[in-house]
Amino acid sequence: MSHYNAPFEIHVHGQVQLRADVDFSQLQEALKPLWKYAGARSLADGASSAYEEEPGIQFDAKEHILQMCWTVRGDEDFRQSLDEMCMSLNELAEQGAAIEVTFYDAEFDEDEAPEEEEARDDFVMLFVGPTPAAIMQVQRDLLVQDVVNLMERHFDGSELGGVVSEIDKLFSQRFDALVSSLEIGKPPRGPGGSGHGGGRRPRHLH
C-alpha cells in the first residue's frame, strides 16, 4: 500500500500501560491495523515513523508500556484502522489511557492557498482501557485538568472544588446509565446474586 501521495500526514501519540502478561506477539497482533496500513509486514518493520526524529512505536517489555509517537501518510480510511486498534488494545490494557491522533493536511500550502481556504487538519482523542469505568476515569481526569487549567486564570485552585464535584456527578450519571443499559435484557441472577455489572465505578478525586 503506497501512501506517498496521500492527502494527510497522520500522527499517533500516546502511552498505554499494558498488563504484565502481555508479550510482543500479542501487541503485534493488536497493532496490526497500524503497521499493515503503513505497508509493513510486521510490527518491527512498521514501528518506524515517517519522520526519523520521532521514536515511532516502542514496547517497553520490562515496564509493560506501549509508547507511540508515530507518523504515517494516509487518508480518511485510517480512522477505521484506529477503531480496530482501540478494540484490540482494550483487551491488553492494564488501565485507561488516552491516544491523540492528529491529521495534518499534506496538500495545503499556506503561501499559495486562497485567503478563504483553510487546511483540513483534524484532531481526534481516543480512549482505551480494560473496562468502561477505566476509560471514563481517563476522560474524567483529562476534563478536570482542562477545566481547572482554564479556570485557574481567574480563580485560585482551592476555590474549584465545587466545579470538580459537578464534573464527578456528570460522570457518575453517565456510568450509572451505562450500567443500566448493560442490564437490559439480562436474565435475573439466582438467589443472593447481583445483577449489577459494568465494572467498578470510576474513582473520584476530592
Contacts of 41 (CB under 8 A, 6+ apart): none
**What average pLDDT does range 52-58 have in this prediction?**
97
Which three-class secondary structure state does DSSP give residue 191?
coil
pLDDT at 193: 42
CB burial of 62-96 (b: ≥16 within 10 Å; e: otherwise) equals eebebbbbbbbbbeeebbebbebbbebbbebbbbb
Nearest partner of 13 among 59, 64, 66, 74, judged by Cα: 66
The secondary structure of residue 58, as a DSSP letter, is E
- Fold classification of 8-109+118-129 is Alpha-Beta Plaits (3.30.70)
- Tell me the torsion sign for CA atoms 173, 175, 178, 184: negative
Residue 99: which region, alpha, beta or left (left: phi > 0; alpha: psi -120 to 50)?
beta
pTM of the model: 0.77
Nearest partner of 9 among 67, 49, 55, judged by Cα: 49
The overall average pLDDT reported for the chain is 85
Nearest partner of 202 among 125, 139, 128, 127, judged by Cα: 139
Q: Where are the domains of the chain?
A: 8-109+118-129, 134-183
pLDDT, tens digit (0-9, with 9 covering 90-100), for 84-133: 999 999 999 999 999 999 999 887 666 565 666 677 889 999 999 999 88
CB burial of 136-145 (b: ≥16 within 10 Å; e: otherwise) equals bbbbbbeebe
All three cell numbers of 5, joined, read: 501521495
pLDDT at 172 exceeding the cut of 80: yes
What's the pLDDT band for 173 if we cut at 50, 70, 90? confident
**What average pLDDT does range 7-21 have in this prediction?**
97
Instruction: Answer whether 48's CB lies under 8 Å from 63's CB.
Output: no
pLDDT at 191: 47
